[in-house]
């Protein structure tokens, strides 16, 4: 398949998961090209990535018996893929519903009586459309001609004898099927019946479909990152990315053939037949070894030494070690976790640049779907945004899905690419909350919101909060935090109890944040200055109407009036110095802050859970 320079590739457009670990029924989860999953610890974010890994793997894909949530039901993972290239649409069009490819994978617990144990049985289902012309469908031919069709007669009848005959000049079912497959693939005028849900074996999913799907790389939040770089493993993300570099870049070098030739010569020296140039000393060793073993075991007549040779791709993926000079030149295994993880992101960045410039030599057969648990792990806070930009760049040609606890790793302006994961109770299981791109209305409104948030990351924090307080500006936030401290609601900041104060910059922007919070189902309170205007005034009414049952702490005029002041603070520093003295905080402010935090139910809130993995 030709490489697509700077273009879009097939990507995972949606996934639904049932009965897997903490997930009872996820519903349809839309997946963007850059998709973040955020949520508290143990909510089940990693289980979504592992479900994707299972779907895109052969067999059980690492799923264990204990991962089946209800043993009486199968694990169901249904995935839909979009963005198919012209060639993919051409070859897969009988499997498409509209412009998407949708496949379901099921893993069922069954009893293996012979082995006296339980095992997972894997099956696939998908949609398949039969050609309308009877002679282009094996099922329709059998229905019309009986269970033993005369393939040669049919080929003559419909005029495809020449392309249906095999190497012996005969026509059997296999050669006929190959012929009609070619016709269906290469003739865009073929008409199909409506797609119907079919058994995976009948569809040939393993042979026909899975090879087209994205290749999945999962970078887990592991504690010992040296394992990822270890030369002894070829299955880690680092080693697989090294292999990708070899496949996509090295093969484009004019001298790459010299490597293949050298590997072939080495293989001949060690493993060729006796007349193929094999080293004579190996025959000598084998003869002596045979004689010595035969003395002990007379039934042994010969011994053959076989030297395992790597292919050129494996030479690069497994044989390369990295030495990094950061003041001292040492192996990357001897460096810190942050540098080791940065090496992987460096490989990603290289793949991005080579793919965009076309230097991968047109060898990028499959798109890559990269899954990462907490990309910010081990990374200095000021470098986290750089990592996020690498992921953004990678998603231009491929796809990235990741979990995160860092506001630096998301963009509130692209809110459709952020999913909030919650687990209200163990019995309810993991729930995924998303937001459509059109929630803010017009494209102009969305662009304005994106611009508002383009100069700071603070607004991103609202996605990580249990509850949010919306205020106009920074001085309102100072007043609320100071009053909350005085009331003993928290020691230093509201985040201690799961709340985040979000400064919207001005009153006109508050409704945009409300729309987002409503869409995600995040509870919130609004600090509303009525500015001496009636509640049904347009600016006030919009905020009040959008609250939709959420809390409003309303001030008739301004925050300064509630603080017992006659005028605005001269600046933010003036505001801070005023509220540093708890004695200046008025009973009116205390009442407003109690309303904001709903102190009647605040004590019932669950504490923040420690880190761990949802099961």
User: Percentage of the chain surpassing pLDDT 70?
Assistant: 83
pLDDT of residue 542: 96
Structure letter (DSSP) for residue 606: P
Q: Mean pLDDT throughout 93-100? A: 85
Q: How many helices (H) and strands (E) does the chain have?
A: 22, 20
Helix (H, G, I), strand (E, B) or coil at 27: coil
What does the pLDDT look like over 179-212, one tens digit per residue? 988 888 888 888 888 888 877 665 566 666 777 8
pLDDT of residue 263: 83
Weakest mean pLDDT among 48-52, 257-261, 572-576: 257-261
Kindly report the three-state secondary structure assignment for every residue of 476-536: HHHHHHHHHHHHCCCCCCHHHHCEEEEECCCHHHHHHHHHHHHHHCCCEEEEEECCCCCCC
Q: Mean pLDDT throughout 113-124? A: 89
pLDDT of residue 586: 96
CA dihedral 227, 229, 233, 234 (to 10 degrees): 140
What does the pLDDT look like over 7-19, one tens digit per residue? 568 999 999 999 9
Weakest mean pLDDT among 261-275, 479-493, 558-572: 261-275
For residue 29, give the H/E element and its range: strand 29-30
pLDDT over threshold 80, residue 339: no
pLDDT of residue 457: 82
Burial class (CB in 10 A: 0-12, 13-18, 19+), 583: exposed
What does the pLDDT look like over 414-446, one tens digit per residue? 899 999 999 999 999 999 999 988 888 777 777
Binned at pLDDT 50, 70 and 90, residue 600 comes out as confident
pLDDT over threshold 80, residue 599: yes
What tokens appear for 252 in the block?
């484009």
Q: Are 102 and 137 in contact (CB under 8 A)?
A: no
Binned at pLDDT 50, 70 and 90, residue 606 comes out as very low
Query: Of the candidates 131, 227, 215, 244, which has an alpha carbon nearest to the alpha carbon of residue 179?
Result: 131
Q: Mean pLDDT throughout 325-351? A: 72
List, in sequence order, every beta strand (DSSP E) within 134-283.
Answer: 196-199, 215-219
Distances (CA, A) of 605 to 135, 261, 467, 477, 499: 66, 68, 10, 22, 11
Weakest mean pLDDT among 88-102, 388-402, 545-559: 88-102
pLDDT of residue 130: 86
What tokens appear for 109 in the block?
């617990």
Q: Which residue has the higher pLDDT, 456 or 393?
A: 393
Q: Are 94 and 103 in contact (CB under 8 A)?
A: no
pLDDT of residue 520: 95
String of b and e for 510-530 (b: at least 16 CB within 10 Å)? bbbbbbbbbbbebebbbbbbb
User: Percentage of the chain surpassing pLDDT 90?
Assistant: 44
Q: Are strands 418-422 and 34-38 parallel, antiparallel or unpaired?
A: parallel
Q: Which residue has the higher pLDDT, 279 or 54?
A: 54
Q: What share of the chain is helix, strand, coil (3-state, %, to 5)?
A: 45, 20, 35
pLDDT of residue 5: 39
- Transcribe 302-345 into DSSP letters: ----------HHHHHHHH---EEESSSEEEGGGS-HHHHHHHHH
pLDDT of residue 291: 86
pLDDT of residue 138: 87
Weakest mean pLDDT among 224-233, 293-302, 427-436, 535-544: 224-233
For residue 390, give the H/E element and its range: helix 381-395
Q: Which residues pair with 198 in a beta bridge?
A: 126
Binned at pLDDT 50, 70 and 90, residue 342 comes out as confident
Structure letter (DSSP) for residue 466: S
Query: Of the candidates 399, 413, 423, 402, which has an alpha carbon nearest to the alpha carbon of residue 462?
Result: 413
Q: What angle do CA 201, 205, 211 make, to 5 degrees?
A: 150
Task: Please state which CATH class domain 465-602 belongs to.
Answer: alpha beta
Match 């379901």 to its residue by tokens: 104
- Outline which parts of the chain fall under CATH 3.40.50: 465-602
Match 């799961």 to its residue by tokens: 498
Match 């540093």 to its residue by tokens: 580
In this structure, how many other beta carbons lie within 10 angstroms of the beta carbon of residue 607? 8
Query: Of the candidates 148, 156, 192, which has an alpha carbon nearest to the alpha carbon of residue 173?
Result: 148
pLDDT of residue 248: 64
Phi, psi of 588 (to 5 degrees): -65, -45
Q: Rounded to an integer, what distance in angstroms lies between the CA atom of residue 158 and that of residue 175? A: 15
Structure letter (DSSP) for residue 413: G
In this structure, how many other beta carbons lie within 10 angstroms of the beta carbon of residue 304? 10
What does the pLDDT look like over 468-514, one tens digit per residue? 999 999 999 999 999 999 999 999 999 999 999 999 988 999 999 99
**What does pLDDT average to over the chain?**
84
Distances (CA, A) of 189 to 86, 133, 170, 529: 15, 12, 28, 65
């Amino acid at each position: 398949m030709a490489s697509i320079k700077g273009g879009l590739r097939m990507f995972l457009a949606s996934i639904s998961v049932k009965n897997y670990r903490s997930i009872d029924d996820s519903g349809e989860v839309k997946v963007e090209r850059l998709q973040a999953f955020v949520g508290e610890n143990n909510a089940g974010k990693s289980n979504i990535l592992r479900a994707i890994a299972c779907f895109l793997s052969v067999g059980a894909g690492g799923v264990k018996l204990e991962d089946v949530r209800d043993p009486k039901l199968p694990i169901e993972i249904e995935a839909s893929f979009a963005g198919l290239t012209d060639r993919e649409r051409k070859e897969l069009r009988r499997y498409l519903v509209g412009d998407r490819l949708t496949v379901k994978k099921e893993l069922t617990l069954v009893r293996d009586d012979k082995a006296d144990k339980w095992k997972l049985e894997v099956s696939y289902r998908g949609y398949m459309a039969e050609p309308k012309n009877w002679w282009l469908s094996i099922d329709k031919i059998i229905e019309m001609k009986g269970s033993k069709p005369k393939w040669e007669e049919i080929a003559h009848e419909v005029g495809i004898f020449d392309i249906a005959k095999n190497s012996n000049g005969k026509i059997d079912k296999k050669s006929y099927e190959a012929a009609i497959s070619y016709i269906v693939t290469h003739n865009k005028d073929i008409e199909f019946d409506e797609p119907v849900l079919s058994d995976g074996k009948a569809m040939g999913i393993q042979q026909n479909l899975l090879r087209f799907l994205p290749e999945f790389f999962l970078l887990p939040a592991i504690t010992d990152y040296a394992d990822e770089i270890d030369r002894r493993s070829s299955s880690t993300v680092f080693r697989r990315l090294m292999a990708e570099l070899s496949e996509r870049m090295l093969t484009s070098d004019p001298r790459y053939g010299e490597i293949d030739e050298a590997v072939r010569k080495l293989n001949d020296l060690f493993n060729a037949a006796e007349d193929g140039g094999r080293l004579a000393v190996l025959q000598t060793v084998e003869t002596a070894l045979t004689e010595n073993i035969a003395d002990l075991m007379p039934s042994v007549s010969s011994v053959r030494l076989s030297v395992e040779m790597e292919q050129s791709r494996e030479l690069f993926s497994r044989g390369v070690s990295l030495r990094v000079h950061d003041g001292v030149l040492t192996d990357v295994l001897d460096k810190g976790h942050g540098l080791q993880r940065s090496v992987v992101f460096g490989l990603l960045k290289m793949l991005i640049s080579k793919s965009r410039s076309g230097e991968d030599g047109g060898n990028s057969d499959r798109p890559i779907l990269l899954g990462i648990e907490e990309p910010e792990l081990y990374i200095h806070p000021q470098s986290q945004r750089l990592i996020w930009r690498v992921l953004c760049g990678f998603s231009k040609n491929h796809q990235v899905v990741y979990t995160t606890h860092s506001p630096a790793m998301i963009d509130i302006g692209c809110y459709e690419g952020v999913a909030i994961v919650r687990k209200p109770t163990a019995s309810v299981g993991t729930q995924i909350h998303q937001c459509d791109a059109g929630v803010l209305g017009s494209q102009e409104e969305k662009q304005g919101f994106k611009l508002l948030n383009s100069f700071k990351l603070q607004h991103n924090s609202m996605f990580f909060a249990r509850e949010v307080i919306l205020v106009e500006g920074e001085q309102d936030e100072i007043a609320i935090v100071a009053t909350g401290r005085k009331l003993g609601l928290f020691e230093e900041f509201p985040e201690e109890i799961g709340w985040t104060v979000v400064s919207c910059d001005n009153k006109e922007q508050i409704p945009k944040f409300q729309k987002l919070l409503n869409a995600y189902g995040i509870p919130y309170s609004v600090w509303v200055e009525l500015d001496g205007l009636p509640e049904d005034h347009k600016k006030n009414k919009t905020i009040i109407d959008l609250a939709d049952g959420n809390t409003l702490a309303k001030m008739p005029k301004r925050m300064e009036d509630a603080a017992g002041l006659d005028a605005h603070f001269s600046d933010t520093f003036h505001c801070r110095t005023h509220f540093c003295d708890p004695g200046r905080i008025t009973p009116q402010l205390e009442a407003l802050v109690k309303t904001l935090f709903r102190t009647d139910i605040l004590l019932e809130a669950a504490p923040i859970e420690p880190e761990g993995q949802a099961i």
